[in-house]
Chain A
């Protein structure tokens, strides 16, 4: 007992030292360089950046060739990004690259999309509200029930009574089964918030990795099986619900390839992004009528892609190494998830 106690205490002290010493060092002495804001300019045909000045005063704006821009010039080369500023200055252009534009169109086409590994890897409650997608009202409303997906089917739970609504559960389960859905679902992607312009329900991957679209329209189930290209095995799904209604979802497959699922036609389009693993990489997309700037951060590397908004083909790619200096040791938390458990990095 004495030996065991001594050993346990020694291991505990060693463990605490390996946790606390690197933590103290990193807290007081670690450093990382400042990440410049980077976005693709359709007018310049290159990535442009803003970075705090070396002396700490002001901001330097430049493109990758080194050309420096004033604040006003910078607004002008990014008309779709600085729409409001250009409108206030009465400098918003009538046409960009031969396409006639107006502020309303710009704001309709602009979108921002973000995915972080901690969102993907965090614990999911497993209850999903299915909103009415075709209510005829402008504002969306949260339903008075939520559903869970079991190995048998969908179960709608009435919030007020906390009981399963059998008839609704059977209605939606049968609708899915009729379209060939094999329970349980291995991936459920939706955006259950009323703070959006419209609702597209959920995208589901069934147990055979077949893709389905599920919505509630006038109280009835809308289910559609989406044809996938041969050999495409999907892994992660993200419903987009952008204002322009061009896309239905972003998707990644088991080989970490990134795809766009088009709205209405349900066509699956590959993109020029070489690799994106939602479980380990941070993703940020600034999209506009002409181009999408995609930033993928993985460990100490940031990769920027400029994609054509029309066919998602690659226009330009830029990689940037991020300098950071941390003392390795035992850590309980990570940027990759919300879990607490000891890990060495």
Chain B
């Protein structure tokens, strides 16, 4: 059953997934090329100096990319599900409803994790070749909350999509925007270091918000 569910979700998002992987790797590659251009023109010393003295991290372009990827992943996966009333069918599968819902979302989460991890590994490999480990981690730890925001956006948009009543959707949207704002409160490098473990944990547990929307859908709430 789980394999079938996984396959159903994969069918829905595969083209978007491939497109977003190309886009994220492309944008990350472009960002690395920009660093490489500085290295070629001014020498790698300039990159180190600017990072040490001016706190530059060179990857600001990627800041909202994971957020957009996560948000679109949820829209692509769940808007057709809700519009075509397929959710009702999914909930009638011969297994616990919560299991079906969580399985659907875990598929999206898994794909996002694969996509974000590949971007991280790609950046790690390039940065490792030109920067000391302290500088490399300075960049990657600064970017980590952006990627958590991508996962949080996925769960929160899923929560909004499953919600059957428009008024509540607007309310959920306001809450979602405020939660996502927390991930972008500071541009200072490594500003989130202390908060990262808690943010990571919170990002994972908000998967359960969607269950509230599904329960409302099940109880017959509608516009």
Residues of A within 8 A of B (CB): 1-2, 4-6, 8-9, 12-13, 16, 19-20, 122-123, 125-127, 129, 142, 144, 146, 148, 157, 159-160, 162, 192-193, 332-333, 338-342
Contacts and interface: CB of A to CB of B under 8 A. Distances in A.
B129 A162 contact: yes
| Interface residues of chain B: helix, strand, loop or mixed (majority) | helix
A300 to B, nearest CB: 25
A341 B45 contact: no
Contacts of A122: 188
Contacts of B52: 125, 127, 129, 146, 192
Given A13-B175, A341-B194, A162 B131 contact: yes
Interface string B154-167: 00000000000000
Nearest to A341: B195
B223 interface: no
Contacts of A9: 175, 209, 212
Place the interface of chain B in its size category: 35 or more
17 contacts: A5-B211, A8-B206, A12-B179, A13-B175, A16-B179, A122-B188, A123-B190, A123-B193, A125-B134, A127-B134, A129-B52, A160-B43, A160-B45, A192-B52, A338-B186, A339-B191, A339-B194
A2 B211 contact: yes
B203 to A, nearest CB: 12
Contacts of B130: 162
A223 B44 CA distance: 30
Contacts of B186: 332-333, 338, 340
Given A2-B215, A5-B212, A125 B178 contact: no
Identify the 3 closest CB pairs spanning chains A and B, nearest first: A341-B195, A338-B188, A5-B208
A169 to B, nearest CB: 13
A193 B178 CA distance: 40
A157 B132 CA distance: 8
A144 B215 contact: no
A127 B132 CA distance: 9
A5 to B, nearest CB: 4
A2 B212 contact: yes
A252 to B, nearest CB: 24
A332 B51 contact: no
Interface in B126-155: 129-132, 134-135, 138
Nearest to B138: A125
A340 B51 CA distance: 21
Contact of B191 (A2, A142, A338): A338
B175 A340 contact: no
Q: Which of B191, B206, B211, B215 has the most chain A CB atoms inside 10 A of its CB?
A: B191
A4 B191 CA distance: 30
A95 to B, nearest CB: 42
A122 B44 CA distance: 25
Nearest to A337: B191
